Amino acid sequence: MNEKTKFMLKQIAFYTFVFTVVAWIVVPLIVATLYAFSSKLDYYDPSKIIPFHYTKQWVNTLLFVLGALDAIKNSIIVAVLTIIISFALGIPAGYAIAKFIFPAKDTIKLSIIALRMFPIPVMAIPLVVLYIRLNLIDTLLGVALAHTAMALPFVVLITSSIFAGVSTELEEAAMVFGLTRLGAFLKITLPLALPGLAAAAMFTFVMSWNEVFVASVLTLQRRTLPAQILSIMAGATGGAAPDYYKFAAAFIMMLPAMLFIFFARKYLITMWGITLK
């Protein structure tokens, strides 16, 4: 075998591997989407691997009869509240870590990371007791406060690396020309950091959108989408809803997340390089 055929074979093997991996990721997404719109007969017909007849019935029932639309609204409200609260608290902390040198900085940073490792069930179960007392049980604000605790360490770390990327000289120059530190931050650093912050906000959105344990435990009526889907799809014994509703649910849940990836993919590697789930 000469060098050229060897190279060709290697190339073919390489592309086959890449193709297989991509197919392993993408085929389930396509299947779930097709099945979400499949007619009942096509789905249960063993000879039809891919359905031919399509219907919007399952997605519609899920949205309008089984409460997924309200749950989507709840999810959006919780996610937006989470972004607002976690950024209000996280941006100052991230800025301090990026731009100041002070004693115990590394310890503080490490403890913030360590707090992120705190398991969600330990947070959620006792919160039920507190929330009943504070009348926060079954409220969207209550869920958002818990999601903030989950998202905040991430926001602190990511904003600190974004702010560290904005050159300090620009800010110092602005201060020489008479702006206060706050003014320099608002006029110089913040606008330059904005694209990164937007990506971090989108990511926070997805984190809250996907979270199910806290949302399921803290709400009963006003559920977010994953919590609502979980309670429709699986009772304690599992598998309560007919199959095609499950696929419709999968389709509704994965759509916004995939849109996010499309818009934020430029930042993903840097962002996920440091985050935890």
Partner 1 sequence: MKVKVSHLPYLLILPAFAYLMFFVGYPLIQALYLAFTENGAFSLATVSRTISDPRFWDALKYTIGLAAVIVPTQVVLALILALVMNRAFRGKDLALYALIIPLTISDVAAGLIWYAMLSPSGFLNKLFLNIGLIDNPVYFFGYQFRHMEFLAIVLAELWRATAIVFVIILAGLQMISPEYLEVAEVFGADYWTKLRKIVIPLLKPSIQSALIIRTLFAMQVFGIVWILAGRDIPILAGEGFYQLTEIKDYGVASIYALTIAALSIVLGAMYIKFMRAEYLEVKE
List the interface residues with partner 1, window 133-192 (CB under 8 A): 145-146, 148-149, 152-153, 156-157, 161, 165
Report the SS3 class of residue 228. helix
Residue 31 interacting with partner 1 (CB under 8 A): yes
Report the SS3 class of residue 30. helix
- Rounded to an integer, what distance in angstroms lies between the CA atom of residue 184 and that of residue 178? 9
Is 126 or 195 the residue whose CB approaches partner 1 more closely? 126
Binding partner 1 by CB under 8 A: which of 9, 29, 41, 141?
29
**Per-residue mark of binding to partner 1, 197-236 (x: CB under 8 A):** ---------x--xxxxx--xx--------x--xx--xxxx
Compute how many other C-beta atoms are within 10 angstroms of the C-beta atom of residue 150.
22
- Rounded to an integer, what distance in angstroms lies between the CA atom of residue 102 and that of residue 233? 51
Cβ–Cβ under 8 Å, residues 54 and 38: yes
Q: Which residue has the tokens 């089984």?
A: 66
Residues near partner 1 (CB under 8 A), total: 102
- Rounded to an integer, what distance in angstroms lies between the CA atom of residue 178 and that of residue 102? 25
Question: Which residues, 255 to 274, sit near partner 1 by CB under 8 A?
Answer: 257-258, 260-261, 265, 268-270, 272-274
Question: Which residues, 77 to 106, sit near partner 1 by CB under 8 A?
Answer: 89-90, 92-93, 95-97, 100, 102, 105-106
Question: Which residues, 35 to 74, sit near partner 1 by CB under 8 A?
Answer: 35, 43-44, 46-49
CB 200 → partner 1: shortest distance, Å?
A: 13
Structure tokens at 231: 């309670």
Element (H, E) at 121: helix 120-134
Is 65 or 122 the residue whose CB approaches partner 1 more closely? 122
